[in-house]
């Protein structure tokens, strides 16, 4: 699913081109005079005091009359309004007036030529200050870019319809900047249009550029626009700093008598750099793993996560230039909502190969999920981004939510959403009993099984396919359940309900996502663990909590802020969660709310 376009003005691209030329744009009064020049030009080209207010078909060559008109009706009144700002700029002011006189001569010749061609009979042969906009997208961009600008002047041949884009420049400047700006206007207006660059100071200079000459330049400019809009993929980082980090890791291991070498190039993910290690003769894997904390201190980074993955010993070191993964990376990977089946895919984030990963709650092996992580680890932000992705991939006919929000802040923007299962499905435990919501889900599960038996279909997907009717998948998300488990009576009741739903609810299209900051054995009991086969684990406070959440150590070594481990079918994969910004969150969560 494509995220909305990011808007960018041609002026912003022009500023970047000036910067690339190491020549700042004109400041203060000089810029003001440029504005007055273009205002006068626009007034002479169209409007109640345009050229035809003083010239007719028989006097198109009367340049002095046009000059007087330009001063009396346009430039003079503008100068009077800005007099205080221009008192110390006499020389620049005179140069601007000379440029306007050159423009009047140019316009006179243009009118004469247009008259000979019969163009003056057409109302739209000349359009000044034409606002233009167009949306662009290229492979690899996370979102389209909507470019907006205002072309100085567009000439149109009434006979052929061919366009000429005219850029009117007051003075000298880098040709690359002026031509680049014109090429962008050309891309916005019509790539087949030719371009005329006309400069009026210190003397009149005209340059005509054929459309085909700018094809390659246009693509480079669009890539520049994508970078300025923040939608282009990041430039591949220089590997030198990571190669040096790898060498430093090997040298540090050697100081502890642990000889090892690097196997292959480092793998650079958004948050970490992964090095594959080959232990030297006589060096065991466990001896290297045991030195993780010491290595972190010596290398000046968070203690690295060192583990065996796919029969290789890998060490994940914190990137010195850690990157943020924007939610747009997730959004562009989503599919358009299927009106019948919807989607049960839950995105995880971006892996070390910079690919978006996801799993499906509809899979028989991953119907329910445990999410764990300490304060500041990114757990709640991940839950929000998962909800956002599900909303974008579904309609209220294919997805409904029950949200348990003990913090009163995780999902409050979904209050009143058509995606809530019922009006009280945004639950604050201090106000509603959580077990009542689970009982309601159990009743719905039983009712659905009766419906499936009567109408055909072994599970929700099968029933939908057989009947051709939508029935919403129900996902219950509990942002914190530790308080429930702290009380033996309520904890046992909670476990009983989770066990019933965990055993059968997937076929009915009902799923549980349970989250906690305290993944200890008191909170995540063996009975709960048995019903939550999929784990998303952020940084934990201790290795013991990591053992509960993942059945192995490692989560205590995570970096926080969305760095996570995903455990599924005995495998462990590392991801960087996407950041769902406040603006995107409001846009998505408030969808459908009147």
pLDDT surpasses 60 at 25: no
Residues 161 and 2: beta-carbon distance below 8 Å: no
- Tell me the pLDDT band of 24, cut-offs 50, 70 and 90: very low
- Tokens at 516, concatenated: 């906690």
Radius of gyration of the chain (CA): 33
Burial class of residue 286 (count of CB atoms within 10 Å of its CB; 0-12, 13-18, 19+): exposed
Spell out the domains of the chain, with CATH numbers in brackets. Answer: 6-229 (3.90.320), 240-318 (3.30.980.40), 327-589 (3.40.50.300)
pLDDT band of residue 374 (cuts 50, 70, 90) is very high
Extract long-range pairs of 361-366: CB within 8 Å, 24+ residues apart.
361/473, 361/475, 361/506, 361/511, 362/460, 362/461, 362/473, 362/506, 362/509, 364/506, 365/533, 365/534, 365/568, 365/569, 366/533, 366/534, 366/568
Which residue has better confidence, 30 or 518? 518
Strands (E) in 2-80, as ranges, are 6-9
CA distances from 515 to 349, 368, 418, 431, 524 (A): 17, 11, 24, 20, 10
pLDDT of residue 418: 93
Question: What is the percentage of the chain residues whose pLDDT exceeds 90?
Answer: 42
Signed CA dihedral, 488, 489, 494, 500: sign only: positive
How many Å apart are CA 185 and CA 193, to the nearest integer? 10
Range with lowest mean pLDDT among 8-22, 220-234, 334-348, 432-446: 8-22
Structure tokens at 307: 């583990």
Average pLDDT over residues 389-398: 93
Q: What is the DSSP string of 533-586?
A: -EEEE---SSHHHHHHHHSSS-GGG--STTEEEEEETTEEEEEEPPB--HHHHH
User: What are residue 343's phi and psi, to 5 degrees?
Assistant: -150, 140
**Bridge partners, 309 (sequence order):** 312
> What's the confidence (pLDDT) of residue 235?
63
Of 156, 176, 166, 165, residue with least CA distance to 199 = 166
Task: Please tell me the least confidently modeled range out of 41-45, 172-176, 351-355.
Answer: 172-176
Mean of the pLDDT values across residues 260-280? 91
Confidence check: pLDDT of 26 > 60: no
Nearest CA to 292 among 256, 331, 335?
256
- Of 489 and 562, more confident: 562
Write down the mean pLDDT value for the chain.
87
Give dist(CA 271, CA 574) in Å, integer.
10
At residue 376, the 3 state secondary structure works out as coil
Q: What is the mean pLDDT of residues 260-270?
A: 90
Asked whether 226 and 138 are in contact (CB, 8 A), the reply is: yes
Give the closest residue to 434 by CA, choosing from 379, 495, 355, 375. Answer: 495
User: What is the distance between the alpha carbons of residues 524 and 520, in angstroms, rounded to a whole number?
Assistant: 6
Kindly report which listed range (95-109, 131-145, 321-335, 542-556) carries the lowest average pLDDT score: 321-335
Question: What DSSP string describes 434-445?
Answer: HHHHHHHHHHHH
pLDDT for res 203: 83
Residue spans of alpha helices (H) in 230-364:
240-255, 285-290, 292-299, 327-331
| Whether the predicted pLDDT of 585 surpasses 80 | yes
List of residues 6+ apart from 294 with CB closer than 8 A: 256
- What pLDDT, on the 0 to 100 scale, is given for residue 2? 65
Q: What pLDDT shows up at residue 458?
A: 85
pLDDT digits (tens, 9 = 90+) for 56-112: 999 999 999 999 999 999 999 988 888 877 777 788 889 899 999 999 999 999 999
Six token digits for residue 213: 């000459």
State yes or no: pLDDT of 308 exceeds 60: yes
Q: 23 pLDDT exceeds 60?
A: no
**Residue 302: band (very low, low, confident or very high) from pLDDT cuts 50, 70, 90:** confident
pLDDT of residue 594: 61
Query: What average pLDDT score do residues 16-23 get?
Result: 65
Q: Which of 404, 419, 381 is nearest to 479 (CA)?
A: 404
pTM higher than 0.85, yes or no?
A: no
Cα–Cα distance between 324 and 561 in angstroms, integer? 9
Pairing of strands 126-136, 6-9: unpaired
- Percentage of the chain with pLDDT > 70? 96
**pLDDT tens sequence across 490-517:** 888 888 889 899 888 999 999 999 999 9
What does 419-478 look like in DSSP terms, one character per residue? Answer: TBSSTT-EE-TTTS-HHHHHHHHHHHHHHHHHHHHHH--SSHHHHHHHH-----EEEEEE
């Amino acid at each position: 699913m494509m995220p909305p376009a990011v808007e960018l003005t041609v002026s912003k691209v022009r500023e970047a081109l000036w910067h690339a030329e190491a020549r700042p744009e004109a400041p203060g009064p000089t810029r003001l005079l440029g504005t007055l020049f273009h205002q006068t030009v626009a007034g002479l080209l169209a409007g109640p005091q345009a050229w035809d207010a003083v010239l007719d078909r028989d006097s198109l060559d009367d340049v002095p009359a046009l000059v007087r008109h330009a001063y009396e009706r346009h430039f003079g009144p503008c100068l009077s309004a800005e007099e205080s700002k221009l008192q110390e700029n006499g020389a620049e002011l005179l140069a601007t007036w000379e440029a306007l006189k050159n423009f009047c001569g140019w316009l006179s010749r243009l009118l004469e030529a247009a008259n000979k061609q019969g163009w003056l009979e057409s109302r739209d042969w000349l359009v000044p200050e034409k606002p233009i906009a167009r949306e662009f997208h290229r492979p690899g961009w996370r979102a389209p870019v909507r470019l907006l600008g205002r072309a100085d002047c567009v000439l149109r041949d009434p006979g052929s319809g061919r366009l000429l884009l005219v850029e009117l420049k007051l003075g000298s400047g880098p040709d690359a900047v002026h031509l680049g700006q014109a090429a962008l206007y050309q891309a916005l207006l019509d790539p087949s249009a030719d371009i005329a660059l006309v400069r009026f100071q210190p003397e009149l200079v005209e340059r005509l550029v054929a459309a085909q000459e700018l094809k390659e330049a246009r693509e480079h400019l669009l890539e520049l626009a994508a970078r300025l809009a923040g939608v282009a993929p990041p430039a591949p980082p220089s590997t030198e700093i990571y190669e040096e980090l790898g060498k430093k890791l090997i040298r540090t291991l050697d100081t502890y008598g642990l000889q090892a070498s690097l196997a292959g190039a480092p793998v650079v993910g958004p948050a970490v750099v992964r090095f594959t290690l080959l232990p030297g003769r006589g060096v065991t894997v466990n001896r290297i793993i045991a030195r993780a904390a010491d290595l972190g201190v010596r290398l000046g980074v968070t203690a690295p996560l060192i583990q065996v993955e796919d029969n290789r010993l890998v060490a994940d070191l914190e990137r010195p230039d850690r990157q943020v993964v924007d939610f747009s990376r997730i959004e562009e990977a989503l599919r358009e909502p299927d009106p019948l089946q919807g989607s049960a895919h839950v995105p995880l984030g971006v892996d070390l190969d910079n690919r978006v990963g996801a799993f499906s709650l509809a899979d028989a092996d991953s119907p329910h999920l445990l999410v764990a992580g300490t304060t500041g680890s990114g757990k709640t932000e991940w839950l929000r981004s998962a909800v956002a992705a599900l909303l974008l991939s579904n309609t209220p006919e294919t997805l409904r939510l029950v949200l348990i929000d003990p913090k009163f802040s995780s999902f409050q923007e979904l209050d009143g959403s058509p995606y809530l299962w019922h009006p009280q499905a945004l639950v604050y435990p201090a106000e509603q009993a959580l077990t009542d919501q689970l009982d309601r889900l159990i009743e719905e599960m039983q009712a659905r099984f009766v419906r499936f038996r009567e109408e055909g279909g072994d599970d929700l997907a099968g029933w939908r396919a057989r009947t051709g009717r939508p029935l919403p998948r129900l996902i219950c998300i509990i942002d914190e359940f530790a308080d429930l488990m702290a009380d033996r009576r309520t904890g046992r009741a909670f476990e009983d309900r989770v066990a019933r739903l965990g055993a059968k609810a997937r076929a009915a299209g009902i799923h549980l996502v349970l989250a906690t900051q305290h993944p200890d054995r008191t909170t995540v009991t063996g009975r709960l663990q048995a019903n939550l086969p999929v784990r998303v684990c952020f940084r934990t406070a201790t290795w013991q909590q990591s053992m509960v959440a993942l059945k192995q150590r490692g989560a205590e070594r995570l970096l926080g802020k969305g760095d996570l481990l995903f455990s599924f079918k005995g495998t462990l994969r590392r991801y960087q969660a996407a950041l769902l910004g406040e603006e995107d969150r409001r846009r998505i969560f408030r969808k459908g709310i009147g």
